[in-house]
Chain A
Amino acid sequence: MKAINHTFKKDLRSNISFYAAIGLLTMFAVFLSAVGFSDAAMIKDDIHKIMTEQHVEDAQFLTALEMTDEDISALEEKYDARIEQDAYLDYEEGEKSWRIFRGMDKVNVYTLLEGDDITGDNEILFDRDFADSNSLETGSTYVLDGHEFLIKGIGVRPDYLYSKKNDSDPWVDKENFGMILMTASGYDKLRESCQWQETRYYSVEYGDEERSEDFRRDIYENFHAYSYISDQSNSRINTPATSGDKIFSEAIVLIPVMAIVILILVAIVIGRMLEREQKYIGTLAALGYRRGEIGRHYMIYAIIPGIIGSVLGMALALIAGRDLAMYFVIDFQKLNYNYYIRPLIAVLCMVVPSLLFGLVAYRKTMKIFRRNVVSMLAERDDRTGRKHGMLEKSSMSFRRKFRIRELFSHPGRTVLILFCLLLSAFMCLEGFAMKDMVNDLVDKGAEKAAVYEYSYYLNHMELESDLGGVHGISTSYETPDNGASIGVMGVPEDSRFGGLEMKEGSFGSGFYISNAVSVERGLHKGDSIEVANPVTLEKYELEIFGVVADNTQQMIYTTYDEARKLMGLDEAYYNVVYSDEELPISGEDLAYVSDSKSMLDTFESAMSALSGFINGVMFMGVLMSVVSVYLVVNMIVESNKSSISMLKVLGYRDREINGIVLNTNHVLVILGFLLALPMCIALLRGVSAVMVSRMHVVLEPSFSPVSALICAAIIIISYFVSLFLLRRKVSRIDMVVSLKGNRE
């Protein structure tokens, strides 16, 4: 076998484009598989680890009666729980705001990501996102409202991995919201020396989750609990905690499909390459080589691009996998993720492509052996005979008939190229459509979420003072079916809320759900929704009178009076002030302020991060188009080599030959694109549903005709780039060599 194995070098040189294209596609499939599963596993494992080891809370609550250390110890023992009072200070300056946390011992314990731990009173740790966005360096001094701090490093709390300032914010604002961690004594000293707003609450981690309801009743009855937010209702915890599983469930559906498609494409190409080798196989057989020996020879022939592609794909996965994973967790604090390719994935990625290609080559070789040696030497397949049969009696020009027959006489090849073009167009369309969806949300989302320029959320129920503006009331409930949080907003009557844009019904008295709730829960006008008071666990069945066109908030809108009635408030309490002017409300009264401009900024910054990922999808679509079209049209050129050569002999110009041979698939580009459109729209609906369940916002499927045209142009250009590359191949086909090839 040594003698025939010497031909590898020659094969490699003469089929360099084949090896490059197969290697590239294999690399793509391996990279996608290795990165997709490893990223999902990494995100799941590392977030779970930090939440478990740092004792993330299962719930936080507020009580009217203060709990003493003894009370806490007694409850901990009774319910096998860890309970600790949590505290933070809020300070704002211009657009920026800071939240300074007191170091915890039992629950929500921070973890040091970088630098040295804090020990001194003026030493602080920053969160990584804010430090990166504001170019803060470890070892430098940071001054806040006249207080000097020494930045010792970077840290993160397990309950603030998704670091939204307020849980009701649609997205994080990494640049303007900073989190500072201090030692307990440093924090206490700072609190005494500043006038910043402090928030205190209790955090609990259950040893036995099943006893949580008893615990909630206990604190309600004995300590007059008036607020209880479970981790299911707390998007800062729930969103990162479930992200790994969600990415994994998407990866397990999408990645194998893509990888299998690519590997099948490669396997088909290898099969057709071997078809061209039948004369050589026949010669070896005539010389006395055994079938097994020849089969093994061609196995290695096919395994080479498999190994090259696998190695390159794995190398790329090792280099770029971690950075790519960051797109999946772009909204969360950057942890020190422990990225590595999972051993099982690594083995599968290294073995499956080569094994598959090798087996395809072996099987194809054995199949060729079913022909007799004479047929092989004459490069004929006498067993089946090629069937071209169509349009024999038509008066159509032979050029057109040639193209039509090329399409229909090789249905497998045609379906394959159609599928590749469809997939490419689909990926490209998907990228553009997602961009349109995101732009639509950015353009309209902030506008719909903010009726007034400013919304002041108070940290208490106000009754006596009139703080200006118009007054509303807002509170949070749970949905008993899944424990998720849902806001109830009582909006002032005779205000601009009367003109809320509606999806269903018209706004008046009664309860109205936001479109985000409607889409996520499949509820509409006339249905009802069950909510529970998170403190008393009392349940209420609310009839839905309509759907408000609010895609960004999980909210039930109602009138101020209805809300008060629901909450059991007899007097005209309020805790939200709406105004178009900035109001001089003291920081002591405020929980937070929401203004339309900062909301728009937040939307834009969150969506610009997503754009990178979308561009990546589009690039892959284009790459896929160029490579797959190149591979398949290359197959057409190879299988028509002698016809091309003959057309040259007859005096056809290269341009004319290109027109006959290369332009066979034009119709498939159009067909692929047209088929990709409805697929894209269907997937957009799916993406919209995923975004609702993952981020609780609705991305309305939206796709502009301009985007469709740009996308069509990209696909057509990439298609013609492939054809342009192949023109050189056609022009290099030598008349003499081909004619000799036919003669031997």
Chain B
Amino acid sequence: MNMIGGIDTLDSGSITVDGVEISGYSKKKLVEYRREKIGFVFQFYNLIPSLTARENIETTVDIAVNTPIDVKELMEKLDITPFANRYPNQLSGGQQQRVAIARAIAKNPALLLCDELTGALDSKSAAEVLDFIEKVNQTYHTTILIITHNEAIKGIADKVIRVKDGKVISQETNTHKVSVAELEL
């Protein structure tokens, strides 16, 4: 995921995103690539501790290349407004992850990369976050790539790719897509 997102470089092979080969990008070009196309969500949220929830979201709006999503509207839609002025250490894990997702999509990226986004959450919070991701997908039509060890999550995906020891072992379209409420987390 780091390589797809342009935060790590590859030793061999190639990566094509949206029809563009990015593996040969220079450091400078990768910065522009991340800036324009990619949104990241990590397992441990990686929010900036000295900024409030709203300000964390603003960090991506500030550098958005595409027309950004209105922060106020985004917070309303994703139920962040009640704790918008709180700092990360005043939020629960689920709330922090919601802010992290809002931050990632605020700049209206082409691709949202989620790395084990429920890995640090209890099942209730995980369900909330996945519900939230679904809402993002439906509302903003953002392409979302979720990387997870949790088999259950595959139920909400359109396409499932299995990777083992760095190799793709299967690729399939999910014909039995379910809602988050139906997942057994």
Are both chains from one complex?
A: yes
Question: Are B50 and A388 touching (Cβ within 8 A)?
Answer: yes
Which of B31-39, B73-81, B152-160, B165-173 is the contact stretch? B31-39
**Contact across chains for B38 and A651 when beta carbons are under 8 A apart:** yes
Additional 5 contacts, C-beta under 8 A, given A388-B50, A392-B86, A651-B63: A388-B87, A398-B55, A401-B51, A402-B50, A652-B31
- Are A401 and B55 interface neighbours, CB within 8 A? yes
Given contacts A736-B8, A743-B43, A386 and B49 within 8 Å (CB-CB): yes
Asked whether B59 lies within 8 Å of A650 as measured between CB atoms, the reply is: yes
Residues of A within 8 A of B132 (CB): none
Instruction: Contacts A406-B50, A643-B50, A649-B40 given; indicate if A399 touches B62 (C-beta within 8 A).
Output: yes
With a cutoff of 8 Å between Cβ atoms, the chain B residues found around residue A200 in the complex are: none
Q: Taking the nearest CB of chain B, how far is it from the CB of A13, in angstroms?
A: 24
Q: Are B63 and A656 in contact (CB under 8 A)?
A: yes
Contacts of B31 in A (CB 8 A): 648, 651-653
Q: How far is the CA of A573 from the CA of B46 in the complex (A)?
A: 95
B50 touches A385 (CB 8 A): no
Assembled-state Cα–Cα distance A409/B51 (Å): 12
Best-surrounded residue of B31, B33, B46 (most CB of chain A within 10 A): B46
A13 to B156, CA, bound (A): 48
Q: What are 23 sample pairs from A and B whose C-beta atoms fall under 8 A apart? A: A388-B87, A389-B87, A392-B52, A392-B85, A393-B85, A398-B62, A399-B62, A402-B51, A402-B55, A405-B50, A645-B46, A646-B48, A647-B48, A649-B5, A649-B40, A650-B40, A650-B59, A651-B33, A651-B34, A651-B60, A735-B2, A739-B42, A739-B46
Contacts of A405 in B (CB 8 A): 50
CB distance from B138 to the nearest CB of A (A): 24
**Cα-based distance from A647 to B48 in the complex (angstroms):** 9
B46-100, CB < 8 A from A: 46-52, 55, 58-60, 62-63, 85-87, 89
The answer on a CB contact under 8 Å between A642 and B46 is yes
Indicate if A742 sits at the interface (CB-CB under 8 A): yes
Q: Nearest Cβ distance between residue A390 and chain B, in whole angstroms?
A: 10
Closest to B86 in A: A392
**Does A336 sit within 8 A of B, measured CB to CB?**
no
A649 to B44, CA, bound (A): 14
B7 at the interface (CB under 8 A from A): yes
- Is the interface on chain A under 10, 10 to 19, 20 to 34, or 35 or more residues? 20 to 34
Interface of B is mostly: loop
- A389, A647, A739, A742: which has the most chain B beta carbons within 10 Å? A739
Count, A-B residue pairs, CB within 8 A: 84
Contact between chains at B51 and A398 (CB < 8 Å):
yes
Which residues of A, 300-326, contact B by the 8 Å Cβ criterion?
none
**Nearest 10 CB-CB pairings of A with B:** A651-B35, A651-B34, A392-B85, A398-B55, A735-B7, A643-B48, A398-B58, A646-B46, A405-B50, A388-B50
In the assembled complex, A397 has its CB within 8 A of some CB on chain B = yes
Are A736 and B2 within 8 A (Cβ)? Answer: yes
Q: Are B89 and A398 in contact (CB under 8 A)?
A: no
A743 and B44 contact, CB distance less than 8 A: yes
- Closest partner residue, chain A, to B84 (CB atom): A392
- Chain A, residue nearest B61 (CB): A398
A389, A406, A646, A650: the one within 8 Å of B63 (CB): A650
> Of A388, A397, A643, which one neighbours B62 at CB under 8 angstroms?
A397
Q: Which residue of B has the minimal Cβ distance to A740?
A: B2
How far, in angstroms, from A557 to B44 measured CA to CA in the complex? 84
Complex alpha-carbon distance, A392 and B2, angstroms: 32
Chain A residue nearest to B52 in the complex (CB): A392
Q: Which residues of A contact B85 (CB under 8 A)?
A: 392-393
Contacts of A402 in B (CB 8 A): 48, 50-51, 55
Cα of A388 to Cα of B7 in the assembled complex, Å: 29
What separation, in Å, do the CA atoms of A255 and B36 have in the docked complex? Answer: 56
Complex CA distance for A739 and B116, rounded to whole angstroms? 13
Contacts of A650 in B (CB 8 A): 34-35, 40, 59-60, 63, 103
Nearest-neighbour CB distance to chain A for B89, whole angstroms, equals 6
How long is the Cα–Cα vector from A295 to B155 in the complex, in angstroms? 51
Which residue from chain B places its CB closest to the CB of A405 in the assembled complex? B50
Q: Which residues of B sit under 8 angstroms from A742, Cβ to Cβ?
A: 42, 44, 46
Of A388, A399, A648, A651, which is within 8 A of B49 by CB? A388
Contacts A386-B89, A388-B49 known; A652 to B63 CB distance under 8 Å? yes
In the assembled complex, the Cα of A226 lies from the Cα of B86 at a distance in Å of: 90
A405 to B48, CA, bound (A): 12
